[in-house]
Amino acid sequence: MADRAFAVVGMGRFGSSVAKTLYEMGYDVMAIDTDEEKIQDHIQSVTYAVQADSTDEQALKELGMRNFDVVVVAIGEDIQASILSTLILKELGVKKVVVKAQSERHGKVLYKIGADRVVFPERDMGARVANNLVSPGILDFIELAEDYSVAEIAATTGMIGKDLVTLDIRARFGVNVMAIKSGENINIAPNAEDVIQEDDVLVVIGHNSDLKRLEEKSK
C-alpha cells in the first residue's frame, strides 16, 4: 500500500504521532530530528529515522526531500527553524509541505512563504475539548468552514427505536444525518427506514447553531 512517501521533521509529541500513524497505515515514513536520542527512539516505528538539521539545505538535499510526496514540519518551539525549514523544503520543490504552527501569527508567516497547509493542533484540540465540555452530547466535531461542522452525536432515549423519517431531523433542525455508527459497524448511507438503536452514534452535518439545537433538544 506504500504508494506515497512521507517525511516528518521533528519528533516531538505531534510529529511522532503523525509519523507512527502513517507508518502503521503502511506508508513509507522518514523521521528527521536533530536529537540523536529521538532518532534512536523512533528506529522501530518508522521506515527510516535520520539525524539531521532541517535548516541545513545541503542535508535536506542529500536526503532527497523532493522525492517525498508530503513533508510535515513539526517543530514547535523554535519558530525560526520551522519557518526556515518550510522555506527550504518549498524551494527544493516539495509539492506538499504541512506545518504545525504555534500561533496564528506563525501560521500567517508560514502561508506567506509557501506552506501548503498549516495545522494548529493545540488550538483545535482545545476548541474540541471545550465544545465537548459544554455540549456533552456532541462526542466530537470537525469544523468544515466557519460555522459549519460535522459532529458525532450520541443517540438519546428519545431517538431510540425510531426511524429517520419519524425523527425528521433534516426538516426540524436543518441538519443532515450522514452516517450511523453502531459499535464497530458504520452505515454510511442511512435510509429513511433505518431505526436508531441504543448506543448508536449519529454523524451529522450542519450549521453549528443547528447542531447545538439538535444536541440540546435531544437531551
Whether residue 64 contacts residue 2, with contact meaning beta carbons closer than 8 Å, is answered with no
The nearer residue to ligand ATP, 66 or 106, going by C-beta atoms, is 106
The nearer residue to ligand ATP, 75 or 201, going by C-beta atoms, is 75
The nearer residue to ligand ATP, 7 or 196, going by C-beta atoms, is 7
Whether residue 84 contacts residue 68, with contact meaning beta carbons closer than 8 Å, is answered with no
Instruction: Give the H or E element holding residue 211.
Output: helix 208-217
Q: Which of 11, 19, 201, 214 touches ligand ATP by CB under 6 A? A: 11
DSSP 4: S
Collapsing DSSP to helix, strand or coil, 216 comes out as helix
The nearer residue to ligand ATP, 11 or 63, going by C-beta atoms, is 11
Interacting span for ligand ATP (CB under 6 A) from 13-21, 136-144, 151-159, 196-204: 13-21
Question: Does 35 interact with ligand ATP (rule: CB under 6 A)?
Answer: yes
Q: In the numeric block, which cell numbers belong to residue 214?
A: 439538535
How far is Cα 85 from Cα 7, in angstroms, rounded to an integer? 13
Q: Where does this chain bind ligand ATP (CB under 6 A)? A: 9-15, 32-35, 38, 53-55, 74-78, 81
